[in-house]
Structure 1
Amino acid sequence: MYSVTDPATGELIEEIPNATDDDVLAAVGRVDRAYTSWRRRPVAERAAIALRAAELFAERADELAAIMTLEMGKRINEGRGEVGIVRDIFEYYGTHGPELLADEPLTLKTGEAAVAKEPIGALLGIMPWNFPCYQVARFVAPNLVLGNTILLKHASICPRSALAIERILHEAGVPEDAYVNVFASSRQVPWMLADPRIKGVSLTGSEQAGISVAAEAGRNLKRAVLELGGSDPLIVLDTDDMDETVKATATARMRNCGQSCNAPKRMIVMGDIYEDFVEGITKRVADYYQPGDPADPATKLPPLASVAAADEVAAQVRTAVDQGATLRTGGNRNGPGAYLEATVLTDVTPEMDAYYEEIFGPVVLVFRAETEEEAIEIANDSPFGLGAAVFGTDPARNRRVADRIEAGMVYLNKSGGSVADLPFGGIKRSGMGRELGALGIEEFMNKKSIRL
């Protein structure tokens, strides 16, 4: 069952039955049949539709933000900001798609050739709840411009977002069968991937979901892009303004109530400034991030996406404390719904679960490092490798440290976030493949060599 449950109150708003097996088979057939005509549309036409979609997303920012607030508790202003990124993504591929898809000429020893950039067919997208619009756009915009068709399975708590996105794309000019939303169940995913009409899959979700989808994709020789979890390190080498450093790092961690794959989850601070940093971030987290109604623009700490998610994070915090971590502030479930106090933990060691696992909520872990080398070792001592950040006053030192961090993305003197023209993705157990930027349109592309 797909359902809408207000995480601020726990009230069930709406339930939508899962698609039947026949419904799913029909949806697969629709996107497969639509592929032939959609891919033959001139690239300029597909790009123009993407530009129109960008306009429509911008026009409906308030509507979409309100849906996200109701479905998964996103702060209303963060919802509007998310729709702004969606607009930017569709605008980027609508503007640059034709040049990104132009033939690439090659000069050979014995003649001339070209690489033609073509679509591969109908794709399955499996999307998460934490960014209901942005993560769909990241997958959909480049692939529609490329000429692939899309079968989209959204998260079970985001059916209204799924339907709103589908309406906007169809209104923008995407044929109804070229983008199809389906309320499929997880049980139906393996045989969708086994269907020869589906040529690839993109999943954003948990590590376990990624393992399952990757196994099915490999078994059926399908291309896969996986954007999974992260436990991103943020190294603070030094600072000439501790208040601003604390504010920047706390803001990055608490964005989306800490439910961002590429949020900085592990703050690694040099010993000479460690105590000042811990004191500053504990005070800011305790004083500034107070729970409230996510529909109120003044709210700083919304609920998590579900009661189950809040209970899980609270249990992780309790386990860390039981294993010897120091609780500096927070950690308690707060009021009705899915609220959890913003939390700071220190003294986390490799023997504790929290050292290696991802904590997907408003929890800051702070580690002490006495040397640059130790900071890098702590940063890389993780099964994940999505993003990272380095804060410091010496640009050369920042870059030197960044070059040694094992991650798909590293930010200097800022953390996390996403922009349309910067490739996004990770290594290790954070997944494989890239989205956004010029690389994001190539993952489900046939790079056809043509010998002239």
Structure 2
Amino acid sequence: MSTITTINPYTQEELKTYELIDNTVLQQKLELAEAQFKNWKSFEIKDRRKRLSKVAKLLIERKESYAKLMTEEMGKPLAQGISEIEKCAWVCDFYAKNADDFLADQLIETDAEESFISYDPLGVILAIMPWNYPFWQVMRFAAPTLMAGNTALLKHASSTTECALEIQKLFEDAGFPEGCFQTLLVSHEQIESVISNDIVKAVSLTGSEGAGRKIAEIAGKNLKKTVLELGGNNACIVLKDADLDKHIATMAWARMQNAGQSCIAAKRFIVVEDIYDEFLSKFKAKVESYVVGNPMDDKTEIASMASVDLAEEVEAQVKKSLDLGAKVVLGNKREGALYHPTILENVTTEMPVFKEEVFGPVAAIIKVKNEDKAYDMASNSRFGLGSMVFTKKVDKAKKRIGDIADGAFFINELVKSDPRLPFGGTKTSGYGRELSKEGIMEFVNVKTVYSSK
């Protein structure tokens, strides 16, 4: 039987080895999820709410141990791991509080004696999730999906296997019936059979563009609904009236958060020439101030990436860009899985750091002549996850929301997810939405009910 071995990216120490389940056990888990769905969907909202609220409580109680686990498996600084768990508790509380209203029948006046829309759960939903936010990515899927009355299966990234198992245990400890939420330790080859299985009704994937295309192909062939949250190449537009003293820390963290391993990180900084030199000087100073090192140290802000392979990939993208004429302002140094914060200027549109998603702490700086050129450059991407604009003229910026066809438009703030707001992208950044009311509606059957005498 095949196995998974997890590795601490900072120390390169082997953590644990896990056996993958065989196809017989996999089928049993699928059948358990289907059987439990028939039971779970009959639970009243108040009973689901009670359990999800318990999940939120347990998350807070266990936040230090969960944060340490993330640090060990994928290198997240300990303090940032605690913040991630606190956010997970928030999304659970949000859906526990609001699911009743979101899922309430909607009365529609027609010729019928009574007509309304009923929001029914679909059934067993498969989630395929990444390693960069091992708890948050799962919880923002699981909270609305389970509250809607579905049951859930998780195929997590192999590097965060213990996180995946702990999440299943979390739901079970909170009183969710066995089979409501199950982690599947399976291979990529087995996942195709899971998606194709009639028991599974839909798939949610957060991952790379390549993974999204593959999953969408399999799901499409089997007429299964998908929600895809894929890569991003977010632009950060810095206009000449931007308040750099007020916002430079936000701009820098928009790129360097989670060692740059975030789909919604600012990856391309598009700066008008009037403010370029001042921006670059202050941006560099802020990035240089970050504490880089051991993720177990409470003072560390940027630690290793999740694996040596990932750091090498970023290093290669930077090298190709340098060969094409980019210049190093700061960084471009790798020590194992630790890739030091890097700033590049003289970046042009044909370089990997402009046209590809660079999933590491590398900021690409592009100088443009004016505001119109800045918006044009920001739109020059096959990705469409989010964009941000820094300016004092907020009302003017609002008039240009439609100029960038992304899933999010943030003014004087970094792009971030919030349980109260829908989250998702356009173009090769995927489709569908997570979070807010829109997120819980992705995996329900919007059913028309019409009644006459």
Deviation at 1:284, TM superposition (A): 2.3
CA deviation vs aligned residue, 1:398-442 (integer Å, no higher than 9, x gap): 212333111001111101222111111000000110000010000
* 1:416 corresponding residue in structure 2: 415
* Distance across 2 between alignment mates of 1:403 and 1:326: 33
* 1:314 corresponding residue in structure 2: 315
* 2:146 corresponding residue in structure 1: 144
SS across alignment from 2:217 = helix
Q: How does 1:224-239 map to 2 (within 5 A)?
A: 224-239=226-241
Deviation at 1:346, TM superposition (A): 1.2
SS across alignment from 1:403 = helix
* 2:385 corresponding residue in structure 1: 386
* Distance across 2 between alignment mates of 1:182 and 1:373: 49
Q: How does 1:210-229 map to 2 (within 5 A)?
A: 210-229=212-231
Deviation at 1:21, TM superposition (A): 1.6
Deviation at 1:341, TM superposition (A): 1.1
Contact 2:432 2:442 in 1 (8 A): yes
* 2:4 corresponding residue in structure 1: 2
CA deviation vs aligned residue, 1:54-78 (integer Å, no higher than 9, x gap): 1111111101100000000001111
* 1:262 corresponding residue in structure 2: 264
Deviation at 1:343, TM superposition (A): 0.3
Q: How does 1:43-442 map to 2 (within 5 A)?
A: 43-108=45-110, 112-239=114-241, 241-285=243-287, 287-334=288-335, 337-442=336-441
**Aligned partner of 1:419: which letter?**
D
* Distance across 1 between alignment mates of 2:35 and 2:447: 22
Deviation at 1:33, TM superposition (A): 1.1
* 1:23 corresponding residue in structure 2: 25
Contact 1:153 1:181 in 2 (8 A): yes
* Distance across 1 between alignment mates of 2:397 and 2:298: 35
Deviation at 1:122, TM superposition (A): 0.5
Deviation at 1:20, TM superposition (A): 1.4
Contact 1:390 1:401 in 2 (8 A): no
Query: Which ranges in structure 2 are unaligned for 5 or more consecutive residues?
Result: none
Aligned residues: 449
Deviation at 1:261, TM superposition (A): 0.5
Deviation at 1:352, TM superposition (A): 2.0
* Distance across 2 between alignment mates of 1:52 and 1:376: 45
Query: CA RMSD for the aligned pairs?
Result: 1.2
Deviation at 1:348, TM superposition (A): 1.4
**Aligned partner of 1:323: which letter?**
L
**Aligned partner of 2:8: which letter?**
D
Deviation at 1:215, TM superposition (A): 0.3
SS across alignment from 1:158 = helix
**Aligned partner of 2:47: which letter?**
E
SS across alignment from 1:107 = coil
**Aligned partner of 1:356: which letter?**
K
* Distance across 1 between alignment mates of 2:62 and 2:120: 32
Contact 1:290 1:341 in 2 (8 A): no
> What's the TM-score once normalised by structure 2's chain length?
0.97
SS across alignment from 1:157 = helix
CA deviation vs aligned residue, 1:160-212 (integer Å, no higher than 9, x gap): 11111111111111111111111111111111111001000001011100000
* Distance across 2 between alignment mates of 1:88 and 1:3: 32
CA deviation vs aligned residue, 1:302-326 (integer Å, no higher than 9, x gap): 0000011111111111111011111
CA deviation vs aligned residue, 1:227-261 (integer Å, no higher than 9, x gap): 00000011111346423332110012111111010
Deviation at 1:111, TM superposition (A): 5.2
* Distance across 2 between alignment mates of 1:3 and 1:262: 29
Contact 1:239 1:245 in 2 (8 A): no
> What's the TM-score once normalised by structure 1's chain length?
0.97
* Distance across 1 between alignment mates of 2:266 and 2:312: 21
Identity across the alignment (%): 37
* Distance across 1 between alignment mates of 2:224 and 2:282: 49
* Distance across 2 between alignment mates of 1:269 and 1:353: 19
Query: Which ranges in structure 1 are unaligned for 5 or more consecutive residues?
Result: none
SS across alignment from 1:358 = coil
SS across alignment from 1:117 = strand
SS across alignment from 1:129 = coil
**Aligned partner of 1:33: which letter?**
A
Contact 2:243 2:391 in 1 (8 A): no
* Distance across 2 between alignment mates of 1:370 and 1:19: 57
Contact 1:2 1:158 in 2 (8 A): no
* Distance across 1 between alignment mates of 2:244 and 2:375: 21
Structure 1 stretch displaced more, 128-137 or 418-427: 418-427
* Distance across 2 between alignment mates of 1:291 and 1:409: 30
